Amino acid sequence: MAEDYRSIRAFPAFKEFTGAVTWTKIQLPANCSRVQVGSTGALWISGIGEDGGAVGADDDKGFIVASNYLTFLIGRGSTRDAEIFVASQSSTPKITIIMEE
């Protein structure tokens, strides 16, 4: 199920949800420019995916090891991604998203 954070206007914003082994779409606020993603378990992360879709072996994706964060800028204007996708590698971990302006 998608996590819709587009209405957030105060930063930094901290959100946590339970992950799944399928892709979860995370919709980001319009004025968010930096995101940190971490989890209690190992994750896949991608800029493309289908909410609830299976993670494929040929999917363009990166990984985040358990108990760590990946920090990245999401761009501005025409280079900005409005959503990211995350999936657990093997379980249902707690996933934390930190969004910054």
| CATH code at position 20 | 2.60.120.10
Counted domains in the chain? 1
Q: Which domain holds residue 96?
A: 3-100
What 8-state DSSP symbol labels residue 89? S
- Which pLDDT belongs to residue 74? 86
Tell me the three state secondary structure of residue 78: helix
Q: Model pTM greater than 0.95?
A: no
* pLDDT band at residue 78 under the 50/70/90 scheme: confident
ω before 29 within 30° of 0 (cis)?
Answer: no
